[in-house]
Structure 1
Amino acid sequence: MMITDEWLNIIECSEELSEMVLRSDVVTEYRRASQAVYSDENLVKAIQSFADLKDRYEEVQRFGKYHPDYNIVMKRIRAEKRELDLNEQVAALRLAENDVQQLLDEVSVLIAQSVSEAVKVPAGNGFFTSSCGGGCGSGGSCSCSA
């Protein structure tokens, strides 16, 4: 493949777009929220504890309710998840992650539509609107031939 002026222009534009995304308020807020979470030593320990418990949860799930620790693990994982979910810093990080995902989804759709209306773009949000007016999880009822 030869590099042409058109390819160089595409590469330059993509680099400019990525710089714009990285400098955006949405990504700046995400970095701030991430720094707030991961600079809190107690919160990092709680997240690590939850990750370890998730591994144990997956082990228990292989055997289901017949595993001897099933009830203990199920109660602990719900309690620790709720504790993390109620933490303001974790909640702010999750909202910031969703905002970044929405920004990336919107940029992806704009790029795809600049190529062709027929280009399909996977989006992280199930409620993200597509060319048929809604998420194509309707089993084809929107007549988009999904």
Structure 2
Amino acid sequence: MLANIEVIELLEQAEKLGQMIKQSEEYEAYQIEKDLLYKDEGAAQLIHNFVAMKDDYEDVQRFGRYHPDYTKIMKEIRGTKRELDMHDRVAIFRQKETALQGLLDDVSEIVATSISENIKAPREGFALKDHGSGCGCGSGGSCGCQAS
């Protein structure tokens, strides 16, 4: 019974933390830019073109250089991606997304280290922060790093 009460209290604290994140400046800025991005017809068309092109790209990836349209599709996907990345609304959205990800990384690191210094929290996407044990890849040293 005591374990159940502790779990419920932990879930309540996690819910409060989630609400605090949703009230942060980073989250608000992200939501505003997300809404503006989806309302921008030019950006929507670029996103649609890129998603459509990804299907061809995935088909090419299965066969690699042996695919008959490899060079053509690889050039097209790079051009489409570059065009998407250069759109002002997309660039601003990505900046806000990166800022929000930074906040989430900071929170996850604080939670992890409050439990134990040995717990590694995700940082910058999925890369693990090095706590002095080598590269921090988590492969157990098979890559040649000095895993502790």
Structure 1 outlier segments of 4+, above 4 Å: none
Distance 1:131 1:57, change over 3 A: same
Task: Give the structure 2 partner of residue 119 of structure 1.
Answer: 119
Distance 1:133 1:102, change over 3 A: farther
Instruction: Please give the secondary structure, in 1, of the residue aligned with 2:122.
Output: coil
Task: Give the structure 1 partner of residue 92 of structure 2.
Answer: 92
Summarize deviations over 1:1-44 as a string: whole Å, max 9, x none: 6532x444323322211111001011111111111111112311
CA distance in 2, matches of 1:25, 1:93: 14
8 Å CA contact 2:50, 2:81 repeated in 1: yes
Task: Give the structure 2 partner of residue 140 of structure 1.
Answer: 145
CA distance in 1, matches of 2:4, 2:70: 59
Summarize deviations over 1:22-76 as a string: whole Å, max 9, x none: 0101111111111111111231121011111011011112222332222221121
Task: Give the structure 1 partner of residue 4 of structure 2.
Answer: 3
CA distance in 2, matches of 1:25, 1:134: 35
Instruction: Please give the secondary structure, in 2, of the residue aligned with 1:3.
Output: helix
CA distance in 2, matches of 1:69, 1:15: 50
CA distance in 1, matches of 2:27, 2:135: 25
CA distance in 1, matches of 2:144, 2:28: 38
Q: How many pairs align?
A: 141
1:19 matched to 2:22? The reply is no
Q: Which runs of 5+ in 2 are unaligned?
A: 138-142
Partner AA of 1:119 in structure 2: I
Partner AA of 2:65 in structure 1: K
Partner AA of 1:95 in structure 2: Q
Superposition RMSD in Å: 2.3
Q: Which runs of 5+ in 1 are unaligned?
A: none
8 Å CA contact 2:60, 2:69 repeated in 1: yes
TM-score when normalising by structure 2: 0.81
State the Cα distance separating 1:107 from its structure 2 match. Answer: 0.6
Partner AA of 2:61 in structure 1: Q
What are the equivalent positions in structure 2 for 1:34-73 lying under 5 Å apart? 34-73=34-73
Q: Which shows bigger deviation, 128-137 or 52-61?
A: 128-137
Task: Give the structure 1 partner of residue 79 of structure 2.
Answer: 79
CA distance in 1, matches of 2:132, 2:104: 20
